[in-house]
Amino acid sequence: MSSVSFSLQQAIFAALSASSDLQTLIANPPRLFDYVPPDSGFPYVVLGDGGETDWSTSTEDGTEHSIQIDVWSRNTGHKEAKQIAEVIRATLNNAALIVSGATLIDIRHLSTDFSREPDGQTFRARLRFRAVTEP
């Protein structure tokens, strides 16, 4: 399952990287990371934690993927993080992503949480998605 998970991550990265709306908000090339470099400027987006669950039926193999994407901003207030989160949601929800080695059945936005970090300067949006793939 993990190779499909990485292929799905690559497809998500490609879709977000190609979004001109996202490039406008987080630079071009976009500050979109799996690992955040120490000298990275704000705002940026991190392809965060996730998981996989067997979603097979009696006739088909399948995998359910939980995906977390984090937006980090140091702009005044939540506005920037919320704008970036909305572009990510619009880009990925029901997207027809090409996943190497699998067929994407569906990708859906589940929720978005917004928070102010303890430093009082950093704002975070945490988006959660669910995707289902079949071999």
**pLDDT attached to residue 23:** 95
H/E element holding 80?
helix 79-92
Question: Would you identify the CATH topology of the domain 2-134?
Answer: STM4215-like (3.30.2000)
| Residue 81: alpha-carbon gap to chain centroid | 14
> What's the one-letter identity of residue 12?
I
List C-alpha distances in Å: 55 to 1, 64, 92, 103, 126. 11, 6, 21, 13, 24
pLDDT, averaged in runs of 10, over the chain (135 residues): 86 97 93 94 95 91 97 96 98 98 97 97 98 95
